[in-house]
Structure 1
Amino acid sequence: MYETVTFSVADGIAQIRFNRPLRLNAVTQQLYDELGEALVEAERDVEVRVVLLTGAGRAFCVGADLKEHKAGRTPYDRRQYLQGEQLLCKRLLQLKKPVVSAVNGYALGAGAEIALASDFIVMSRTAQIGLPEISIGNFLGGGVTWLLPRLVGLAKARELVFLGERIGGEEATRIGLANRVFDDDVFIESALQFCRQLTAKAPRSMQLAKEQLNFAAEATLDAALRAELEGMTFVSTTRDWQEGVDAFAEKRAPIFRGD
């Protein structure tokens, strides 16, 4: 179905892999379009509990394909292309299922912004992530000016953006940008194991938690409390809630089915 990404589902995990390895998975309009379609497919599939994004070859994604930028686009075409990333990152933030970006190699520019719009970032030991836009006279996209200060604080966000320096997995984890760092030789399996931990959780509860954690900062305390009350009331009507109660009483691991 796709030319610039691959899509597969196994054990409740939809694995979407950027598939332009000869260009280090640099983004094109086609990649944005196909990635968006793959995310819709993953969201619709009731068997999918978690989405894993990663890259084929030596990189996660090195940002915009500059060769495509030189292809004589009109100003309108250029704006449509730039808006494609905005819409994609918004879709990642609003997806009803958790998204894990497994950063192998480089995640730069738009690649870093896609990773930041995910719910979790795991990095290989030798991977690097960075936002070089200011250094090349460009500007940031994908909601990173909204996301980055929330993750690492305003002072560190300014440093990462203004200096455009690449940081490794250890540093990214230390400052709260990434969640885990894994050795290169076991990276994908470790990333999948991280995803498997998420597939064992209650899907409806995770969906509500994602919505609230991502956007509650825009609300008042009273609004957050009301949303939490509605969420607790709703999940208490589900079979998964009863399964959680039963499993706790029976001292076993719950088996959630998403209903």
Structure 2
Amino acid sequence: MSDSDLVLSEVKDGIRIITLNRPDILNAVNQPLIKALLEAARDANNDEDNRCVVLRGAGRAFCAGFDLSTHNPDKTYQEERIIIDKIQAITRELVLGNKIIIGAIHGWAVGAGLEWAINCDLAVWGQSTRAFFPELEWGLFVTGAVSAIAPRQISLSHFKELVLLREKVGAPRLHELGLAWRVVPDEEVFDHAMSVAQKVAELPPDGVIDFKRITNRAAYSDIETAMAMETEATIRGALAPAAAEEIKKFADRKG
């Protein structure tokens, strides 16, 4: 598969559908996918012909998080910084951009996948979908501004529980906590997300743009500070010798 196929983007009836497209490995995240998703999100925000965005994953999962096979313990600070900066730039497009993002979350939402689900304005989750944050187990840190966003959606103690205990939590429980907006039967996730997107797309676009800009910037006024701290913590962890060992242990258990 070429890098250009890692993230698919199409416009249907005024709705841009962005699809993570590494289904053979549950849309695990590598550098080319990060680059492709950032480009797709920017294109969506700059395209006046689409009124709303649906973000989904191809195959059996939304996104299984970091592709462990691509970890390089010998990266320099600057090399790691480039990667994390792009991940944070995706969040800026999703959270601070001018299009409403509807998530269609199924299968698994892990690590970056869970962060992108949280970045959505509204996310439709499948009944059997599960999610967790593995980052601290690897000596890394969460990104995607979730340290600013999640505690405003759920209690701070519940957010700490998700990150520190790393338990695999089902969509119904995430809905109870307030992190999953709506939970539907698995086979209805995409159709339901499209239905929600269509309702948004019918609204006058200028009002929608103002609504998102004002509400998100007011709610997450410290988002840039949070992302700056997330970035430094993630880079520091990634460059530590212990990270490579912990990632290998995690990968061996999965294997």
| Category of TM-score, reference length = shorter chain | 0.7 to 0.9
Matches within 5 A, 1:106-255: 106-217=108-219
Contact kept? 2:96, 2:217, Cα under 8 Å: no
Amino acid at match of 2:23: P
Shift of 1:218: 6.1
- State the Cα RMSD in Å: 1.7
Shift of 1:187: 2.1
Shift of 1:136: 2.9
| Stretch deviating more after TM superposition (63-72 or 91-100) | 63-72
Q: 1:257 matched to which residue of 2? A: none
For the residues of structure 2 that align with 1:84 and 1:56, how far apart are their CA atoms?
Answer: 22
**Distance verdict in 2 for CA 1:49–1:152, change over 3 Å:** same
For the residues of structure 2 that align with 1:149 and 1:95, how far apart are their CA atoms?
Answer: 21
Shift of 1:216: 1.2
Q: 1:16 matched to which residue of 2? A: 18
Shift of 1:137: 2.3
**Distance verdict in 2 for CA 1:213–1:23, change over 3 Å:** same
For the residues of structure 1 that align with 2:51 and 2:158, how far apart are their CA atoms?
Answer: 33
Q: Secondary structure at the match of 1:60?
A: coil
Q: 1:98 matched to which residue of 2? A: 100
- 1:47 equivalent among 46, 49, 53: 49
Deviations 1:196-251 (A, max 9, x none): 121122211111111121121467xxxxxxxxxxxxxxxxxxxxxxxxxxxxxxxx
* Higher normalized contact order (CA 8 Å, seq sep 6+, divided by chain length): 2
Q: Secondary structure at the match of 1:142?
A: coil
Shift of 1:75: 3.5
Contact kept? 2:45, 2:93, Cα under 8 Å: no
Identity of aligned residues (%): 35
Contact kept? 1:135, 1:163, Cα under 8 Å: no
Deviations 1:90-126 (A, max 9, x none): 2211110100111111010011111111211110111
Contact kept? 1:8, 1:14, Cα under 8 Å: yes
Shift of 1:18: 0.3
For the residues of structure 2 that align with 1:81 and 1:113, how far apart are their CA atoms?
Answer: 16
Shift of 1:169: 1.7
For the residues of structure 1 that align with 2:10 and 2:220, how far apart are their CA atoms?
Answer: 35
Shift of 1:72: 4.8
For the residues of structure 2 that align with 1:29 and 1:71, how far apart are their CA atoms?
Answer: 15
For the residues of structure 2 that align with 1:218 and 1:68, how far apart are their CA atoms?
Answer: 32
Shift of 1:71: 7.6
Contact kept? 1:90, 1:117, Cα under 8 Å: no
User: Looking at CA atoms only, which structure, 1 or 2, has the larger radius of gyration?
Assistant: 1
For the residues of structure 2 that align with 1:152 and 1:169, how far apart are their CA atoms?
Answer: 14
Deviations 1:131-162 (A, max 9, x none): 12123322111111111101102111111111
Query: Structure 1 unaligned runs (5+)?
Result: 220-259
TM-score (norm 2): 0.81
- Aligned pairs, number: 219
